[in-house]
Chain A
């Protein structure tokens, strides 16, 4: 609960606060005197009596406030760091269940094994993310309809748990890349520009995009100032995204190349990494890692700061004086009765 700009762990204790007036209302410690006129007027004792009541009220009030457990709420501060804001777009289609970088046909039949593309992607991305303390990561759910599953966050545990979950189970039968690309851009909507923004696409294939989708993607990516990195997990070692003279007839019009050409054409920073082996995959991530240490404004959350001790110190001071005065009174009364 928030009250007075502080967070309170046990706010119900605050209802006890009125009892702090009790010292002003009772006469438990009064001495009945036969005739008041007998007591000399003593401004000093009036002053001390009021002072003691104030101290008692203070002790009670600070104790109650301490019990209510105040703390300064979490605060976000901005500091300058080095890194990037990265949206991860991991292909979740069925083909990603196939093993990655196998040398011969026989090994290619084991589907969903430990070396499936999805799991390999998980392992390398985990390493990548752990090495980048200042980056902010987001994660897009890549299905028929994309959802910004995990909006940009600094919480490494959350993003790693999401990537791990992505490696479980089977792939989805239907994925829509255009929607996922748009969704990734929308992740930055309404966000202040802090430094380099990247959409990191990891997939083993391309998709044909409609003209509308292309237009929309071009517009959004330019507007949001996004760069695209595509780690293309090759299944055919000889095929390249760039056209070459040794091209097989079969590769001329494949979706991968069309996607590659589209990315090149939209005028945003773009780089493709063709990973045909584990080494190439690791090298691609290392390259991205090297390139993206630009200045970035990082938000950091400071945890709550409990303020209970301050109150207990106040109580302690008040109690020291009160206890001393009551001991002195006791000593005085004892003396008088002797």
Chain B
């Protein structure tokens, strides 16, 4: 298409005028109201010994599961929309301990991450790791928080002492009362678990004879269907996907195994959460200025390379 000189001049004038109006609109148009969906989430981080196993990668480095969980949680805060709330809790022994009730994730980002930085194996107050009971306590305590948060439970699913499938700890609540996502962390291979001492420093690894290999109650039974000798591998740890799936079904949670991006987790949390709408001011300037730029560039794009203009 070849445009005559006169038409080109006319078009340019029209475009410039439109762009001018758009820039004016970008400056002076008041922000419009828009609803975003926000949620409250309580992040529970497993800080038991098995979380010290270094079998996950972060930015290409092998790091411990706990390091990964901390960094992942931090990035998830960033991916949550402003207005959403996030709280922090740790799990050790057989319970979740809430350390900060949900706070607005943008305004309190600094304090959330400073607290998250402090999470460390030496905060553990006992050396056992009863994941399912900890999930239950998290649910019980979430009910005391107003509004009830969605639980994001980051764990490798390693139960110590081990539990037998038929002797699963009883869940008193109703599945789905509190929504939640179980995030499975850790690799596929069974690896030795670093052992922490009283002061929380790592001292060697758990030995095969340091831990129980069978459910305490199952081992007492004469019934050979439940009391079968198992492989003695409870001193080693991998991500217990099947167990976490069972646990998630039991309490009505979603199970996400090693999610690739925090965005995926935040999406999952939003999907399961009872979100509430929050009206925010949305400034249209980005769109208006973008269109104005596009229009101005139309005038100056080097058409000469593609078409000849002769007059």
Contacts and interface: CB of A to CB of B under 8 A. Distances in A.
Interface in B113-139: 114-115, 118, 120, 122-123, 125, 137
**Which of B12, B95, B296, B304 has its CB near the most chain A CB atoms (within 10 A)?**
B296
B23 A169 contact: no
Given A145-B122, A150-B111, A315 B23 contact: yes
A243 interface: no
Given A161-B87, A169-B141, A149 B99 contact: yes
B292 A141 contact: no
A16 to B, nearest CB: 8
Interface stretch (B14-22, B154-162, B217-225): B14-22
A162 interface: yes
B23 A26 contact: no
Contacts of B199: 145
A223 to B, nearest CB: 23
B295 to A, nearest CB: 10
Interface stretch (B100-108, B205-213, B242-250): B100-108
B229 interface: no
B217 to A, nearest CB: 23
Contact of B304 (A26, A60, A173): A26
A4 interface: no
B146 to A, nearest CB: 10
Given A148-B118, A313-B27, A31 B311 contact: yes
A172 interface: yes
B24 interface: yes
Contact of B114 (A66, A151, A169, A173): A151
A149 B122 CA distance: 13
A165 B300 contact: no
Contacts of B303: 26, 28
B300 A23 contact: yes
Contacts of B190: none
Contacts of A67: 286, 289-290, 293
Interface residues of B, number: 62
A316 B108 contact: no
- Interface size on A, as a range, is 35 or more
A158 B111 contact: yes
Given A63-B296, A323-B13, A326-B12, A312 B310 contact: no
B103 A158 contact: yes
A162 B116 CA distance: 13
B111 A155 contact: yes
Contact of B289 (A66, A145, A161, A330): A66
B34 interface: no
A25 B302 contact: yes
B16 A333 contact: no
B304 A28 contact: yes
Contact of A145 (B17, B123, B290): B123
Interface of B: 5-6, 8-10, 12-13, 16-17, 19-20, 23-24, 26-27, 87, 89, 95-104, 107-108, 110-112, 114-115, 118, 120, 122-123, 125, 137, 141, 144-145, 199-200, 285-286, 289-290, 292-293, 296-297, 299-304, 309-311
23 contacts: A22-B297, A26-B302, A28-B302, A32-B310, A56-B296, A64-B293, A143-B123, A144-B125, A145-B122, A147-B118, A147-B120, A161-B102, A161-B103, A161-B108, A169-B98, A174-B125, A312-B26, A312-B27, A316-B20, A322-B16, A323-B13, A330-B13, A337-B6
Interface of A: 10, 19, 22-23, 25-29, 31-32, 56, 59-60, 63-64, 66-67, 69, 141, 143-145, 147-151, 153, 155, 157-158, 161-162, 164-166, 168-170, 172-174, 308-309, 312-313, 315-316, 319-320, 322-323, 326-327, 329-330, 333-334, 337
